[in-house]
Amino acid sequence: MKEVQHYLKDFQKEKNWDIPESEFLETKMAILNNYMLLTTEVSEVAEEFRGIFTKTKQLQQSENLTEQEAFLRAKELHKENIGKELADCIAYIMKFANYFEIDMEESFYNKMEEIQRRIYIERR
């Protein structure tokens, strides 16, 4: 995760896509704009999922497959695009992490530990 975060920091800086620090209004607009772009990418993931379900129905009829067989084939057909959309989401998430100087790997494991403890307490 550290490698991905560093890669994206350099990549976004090189493309001039990082969030500027110069003045409040410019920074605020960049944060809002990038937040909108992140939510757009999240909806693109949903579009791919929707595409799987549509394709499942189509394959079921055209190829005379069971629903499960058609679903597995549709899933395979959408796999590459889902990967691309998830990558887009990660790029925006890392952009925010880099702007706020958050070590995402550390933050991720801390949060998972917090969830783990919460689950443990709930089960007691």
- Residues of this chain that interact with Mg ion (CB under 5 A) are 41, 44, 85, 88
Exposure string (b/e) for 70-103, b if CB count within 10 Å is 16 or more?
Answer: bbebbeeebeeebeebeebbbbbbbbebbbeeee
> At its nearest, how many Å lie between Mg ion and the CB of residue 39?
12
> At its nearest, how many Å lie between Mg ion and the CB of residue 44?
4
Nearest residue by C-beta to Mg ion?
A: 88
> At its nearest, how many Å lie between Mg ion and the CB of residue 84?
6
Residue type, 14: E
Based on CB atoms, which residue is closest to Mg ion, 18 or 41?
Answer: 41
The whole-angstrom separation of Cα 92 and Cα 100 is: 13
Based on CB atoms, which residue is closest to Mg ion, 37 or 102?
Answer: 37
Residue length, the chain? 124
